[in-house]
């Protein structure tokens, strides 16, 4: 589905409206998705789309799927979302942080359309927010990184400076330090979610500076290609399993699984029970999946990481459990204290031991 078919869909809907035909005469629902990247990016957007298709399969003919790819974050997103509303969408999922304000703005104009915004924090009567506790997966990556590194230098390709990304860095760092007190993090911000050339440059620079583990919060597989070329460097799949780069350099991954959520929300819309909610799920519900840990990881480290995964899933362990100090040395969480969701949602500082500063 591209812009043209969207326009066609819009025209059809307008025509139907003129005829006075109800849009959902046969109980059909039109579900829209706004994507920040192309559906074949190999990561973030691909997995949203994959989950959307699973949702369509689940409902069969009851659902009409419309989507638009490569929507820029910012004002132009408002136009894209509006167009989808005019096209007759009943429920629209906007799947990137930068769509937050555009979603809220459009939602005001279309009170009868239901909106679901991913990874944001602004809710309204017809806008739900949903996100995944990716930091739980980062804790496992940090543990593995701390165990497998020989140079004690771990590279981190950070994307856009928002709390979600900062949480991931902190979580990975805390757990890498826990198993390896000598480990250091080198963080590079590229200010984009997807830019293969910049990601490759960043990965190469980190590897040249001695990092033998590279974590990424960006969407392409370019860092894996760089690590493969360099040899002896470990990486993790981001958003998608990226299994094609296993067993080396990719040794595990965080997999986004949105399908159960999408199915539940569309079901609610069909049943007329939809209401605005704030969902933040993690490993326990499967929204955050941990990709298989490859045999390139020593067996004991693998077992340790899997035990942590199971403990998080069972609710026995929270990755942000004190004592944790802030970067400046002041106390953030006292011994045994667990960070509350409010503090995590707005997290904007590094924990003690990380060098450098977060771009504002």
Question: Which residues of the chain form contacts with other proteins (CB under 8 A)?
Answer: 37-38, 40-42, 70, 153, 155, 186-189, 191, 194-198, 200-202, 204-206, 208-211, 220-222, 225, 229, 244, 355-357, 359-360
> What tokens appear for 247 in the block?
């067993």
Least distance in angstroms from the C-beta of 220 to other proteins: 6
d(CA 330, CA 357): 16
Beta strands in the chain (DSSP E): 29-34, 63-68, 91-94, 114-118, 127-132, 153-158, 184-189, 213-216, 234-239, 250-256, 278-281, 288-291, 324-325, 331-333
Q: Which is nearer to other proteins, 118 or 240 (CB)?
A: 240
Q: Which is nearer to other proteins, 325 or 327 (CB)?
A: 327
Least distance in angstroms from the C-beta of 69 to other proteins: 8
Q: Which is nearer to other proteins, 106 or 200 (CB)?
A: 200
Alpha carbon separation from 168 to 39, 80, 137, 171 (Å, rounded): 24, 30, 8, 5
Q: Which is nearer to other proteins, 9 or 157 (CB)?
A: 157
Q: How many CB atoms lie within 10 A of CB 76?
A: 11
Q: Which is nearer to other proteins, 42 or 142 (CB)?
A: 42
Least distance in angstroms from the C-beta of 54 to other proteins: 19
Least distance in angstroms from the C-beta of 116 to other proteins: 25
Least distance in angstroms from the C-beta of 187 to other proteins: 7
Least distance in angstroms from the C-beta of 46 to other proteins: 9
Q: Which is nearer to other proteins, 41 or 116 (CB)?
A: 41
Least distance in angstroms from the C-beta of 195 to other proteins: 5
Q: Which is nearer to other proteins, 156 or 274 (CB)?
A: 156
Alpha carbon separation from 53 to 22, 59, 265 (Å, rounded): 25, 10, 14
Q: Which residues of 46-66 are buried (b: 16+ CB within 10 A; e: fewer)?
A: bbbbbbbeebbeebeebbbbb
- Give residues with Cβ within 8 angstroms of 155, minimum separation 6: 185, 186, 187, 188, 202, 203, 206, 207, 209, 211, 213, 214, 215
């Amino acid at each position: 589905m591209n812009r043209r078919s969207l326009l066609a869909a819009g025209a059809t809907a307008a025509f139907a409206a003129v005829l006075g035909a109800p849009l959902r005469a046969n109980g059909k629902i039109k579900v829209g998705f706004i994507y920040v990247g192309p559906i074949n990016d190999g990561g973030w957007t691909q997995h949203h789309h994959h989950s959307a298709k699973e949702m369509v399969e689940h409902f069969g003919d009851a659902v009409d799927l419309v989507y638009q790819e490569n929507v820029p974050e910012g004002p132009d997103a408002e136009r894209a979302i509006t167009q989808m509303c005019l096209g007759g969408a009943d429920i629209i999922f906007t799947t990137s942080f930068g769509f937050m304000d555009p979603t809220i703005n459009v939602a005001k104009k279309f009170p009868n359309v239901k909106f679901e915004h991913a990874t944001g924090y602004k809710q309204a009567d017809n806008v739900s927010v949903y996100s995944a506790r990716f930091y739980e997966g980062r804790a496992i990556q940090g543990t593995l990184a701390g165990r497998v590194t020989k140079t004690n230098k771990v590279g981190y390709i950070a994307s856009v400076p928002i709390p979600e990304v900062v949480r991931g860095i902190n979580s990975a760092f805390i757990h890498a330090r826990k198993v390896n007190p000598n480990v250091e993090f080198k963080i590079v911000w590229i200010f984009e979610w997807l830019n293969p050339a910049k990601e490759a440059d960043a990965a190469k620079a980190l590897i040249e500076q001695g990092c033998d583990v590279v974590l990424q919060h960006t969407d392409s597989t370019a860092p894996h290609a760089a690590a493969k070329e360099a040899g002896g460097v470990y990486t993790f799949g981001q958003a998608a399993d990226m299994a094609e780069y296993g067993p080396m350099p990719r040794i595990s991954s965080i997999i986004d699984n949105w399908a159960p959520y999408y199915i539940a929300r569309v079901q609610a819309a069909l049943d007329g029970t939809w209401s605005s909610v704030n969902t933040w799920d993690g490993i326990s519900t499967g929204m955050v999946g941990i990709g298989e840990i490859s045999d390139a990881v020593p067996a004991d480290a693998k077992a340790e990481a899997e035990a942590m995964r199971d403990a998080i899933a069972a609710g026995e362990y929270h990755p942000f459990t004190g004592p944790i100090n802030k970067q400046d040395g002041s106390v953030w969480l006292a011994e045994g204290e667990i960070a509350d969701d409010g503090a995590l949602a707005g997290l904007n500082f590094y924990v003690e031991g990380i060098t450098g500063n977060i771009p504002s």
